[in-house]
Amino acid sequence: MSRLGEIHDELRAEWSRLQSCWQSTREQWRDQVAESFERARWQEWDQRASDFLLALKELEETTNRALKETR
């Protein structure tokens, strides 16, 4: 596995932990402020994190292919 792959896996694991923490928090925090935060902030972060992790994985795959082709 390349260093990009390791970074991807580390970031994915940390994001999963943060998602788990948010779910635990959300179970206790049940008001309009929580709903507003989830809509205005959390959902966007969740989408951006997913997009970033996908792009990082694609970058790793592209880099690995390029390295193989130049050897």
Q: Please count the structural domains in the chain.
A: 1
What is the C-alpha to C-alpha distance for residues 40 and 34, in angstroms, rounded to an integer?
A: 10
pLDDT of amino acid 10: 97
pTM of the model: 0.85
- Report how far apart, in Å, the C-alpha atoms of 51 and of each of 2, 67, 70 are: 20, 24, 29
Domain with 18 in it: 3-69
Residues 8-52 have pLDDT tens digits of: 999 999 999 999 999 999 999 999 999 999 999 999 999 999 999
Residues 53-69 have pLDDT tens digits of: 999 999 999 999 999 99
